[in-house]
């Protein structure tokens, strides 16, 4: 099943994809996940208005997560290209809800930075809450998966020891296009990831190509570690890190510019298509 959020006349609403139609399930996907499978079944049975699928109106697949927990340096190739080492335990940073964006939303290059970089990542969404979760049971807590685009403003990220500023510019974290429920993702540890850049003249190139099998810390280990210090709640998003091929790791470094289109794809989960634009005055 594919779940997400859709912009209607009444604001963002939780939806399910049925054929080529989106049916409304309620105001909040996070609340539906918190109610467990029974709540989702009830919402589907009583589903309301239908809408033709228009990707441009999709919001982040979970629009109101309590937490967005991101893992850094989780692919050895990426750590190496930036002159870093992988860590013995997951490297964690947080993103805010306001940094998220829909799967087709334009990303504005901030006027205060010219070092906007790309990172394609597998995202997992918590369904069943928990604390002190054992790794062998961790995937039982996952509601589903999607694609995350962890756009990073490198000059802000690297200005100090904390990454918060460079990872939290408004609208720099496209998430979606849908939450593909866990029962439809049989092998989350063997999914191909790709990132393409399409130039204004239509030419395109693949800048990231990898597989989730190459993660240093796999999702069960990540969930177990995160749950040592925080209660994982329904709707929480976990971004599992990016592989090699980012702009900062190139020689010379390469950064995004208005007019380009980012296409971020993960096998079986769909793709994000985000144009880069100039920030409005």
Q: Please give the domain boundaries of the chain with CATH numbers for all domains.
A: 59-278 (3.90.850.10)
Please state, in angstroms and rounded to a whole number, the distance separating the CA atoms of residues 104 and 120.
15
Look at residue 136 and tell me whether its pLDDT is greater than 90.
yes
Cis peptide upstream of residue 252 (ω within 30 degrees of 0): yes
Chain segment 143-169, per-residue pLDDT in tens: 999 999 999 999 999 999 899 999 999
Look at residue 138 and tell me whether its pLDDT is greater than 80.
yes
Please state, in angstroms and rounded to a whole number, the distance separating the CA atoms of residues 175 and 158.
24
Please state, in angstroms and rounded to a whole number, the distance separating the CA atoms of residues 51 and 118.
32
CA nearest neighbour of 94 among 249, 272, 248, 236: 236
Chain segment 226-264, per-residue pLDDT in tens: 999 999 999 999 999 999 999 999 999 999 999 999 999
pLDDT, position 43: 94
| Residue 122 banded pLDDT, cuts 50, 70, 90 | very high
52 half-sphere exposure, CB direction, 13 A CA radius: 1
CA nearest neighbour of 222 among 269, 234, 230: 230
| Residue 225 banded pLDDT, cuts 50, 70, 90 | very high
pLDDT, position 15: 97
pLDDT, position 48: 72
Please state, in angstroms and rounded to a whole number, the distance separating the CA atoms of residues 212 and 189.
5
């Amino acid at each position: 099943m594919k779940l997400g959020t859709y912009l209607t006349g009444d604001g963002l609403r939780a939806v399910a994809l049925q054929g080529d139609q989106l049916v409304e399930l309620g105001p909040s996907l996070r609340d539906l996940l918190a109610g467990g499978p029974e709540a989702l079944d009830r919402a589907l049975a009583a589903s309301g208005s239908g809408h033709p699928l228009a990707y441009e109106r999709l919001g982040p697949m979970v629009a109101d997560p309590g937490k967005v927990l991101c893992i850094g340096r989780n692919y050895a190739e990426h750590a190496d290209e930036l002159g870093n080492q992988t860590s013995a335990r997951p490297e964690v940073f947080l993103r805010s809800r306001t940094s998220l964006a829909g799967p087709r939303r334009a990303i504005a290059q901030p006027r205060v930075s010219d070092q906007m970089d790309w990172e394609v990542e597998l995202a997992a969404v918590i369904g069943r809450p928990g604390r002190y979760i054992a790794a062998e049971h961790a995937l039982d807590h996952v509601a589903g998966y999607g694609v995350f685009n962890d756009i990073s403003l490198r000059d802000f990220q690297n200005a100090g020891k904390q990454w918060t500023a460079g990872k939290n510019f408004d609208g720099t974290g496209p998430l979606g296009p849908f939450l593909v429920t866990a029962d439809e993702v049989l092998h989350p540890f063997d999914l191909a990831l790709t990132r393409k850049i399409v130039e204004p003249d239509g030419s395109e190139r693949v800048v990231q190509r990898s597989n989730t099998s190459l993660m240093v810390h796999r999702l069960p280990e990540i969930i177990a570690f995160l749950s040592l210090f925080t209660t994982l709640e329904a709707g929480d998003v976990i971004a599992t890190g990016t592989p090699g091929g980012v702009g900062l790791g190139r020689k010379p470094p390469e950064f995004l510019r208005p007019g380009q289109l980012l296409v971020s794809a993960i096998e079986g989960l769909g793709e994000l298509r985000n144009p880069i634009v100039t920030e409005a005055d």
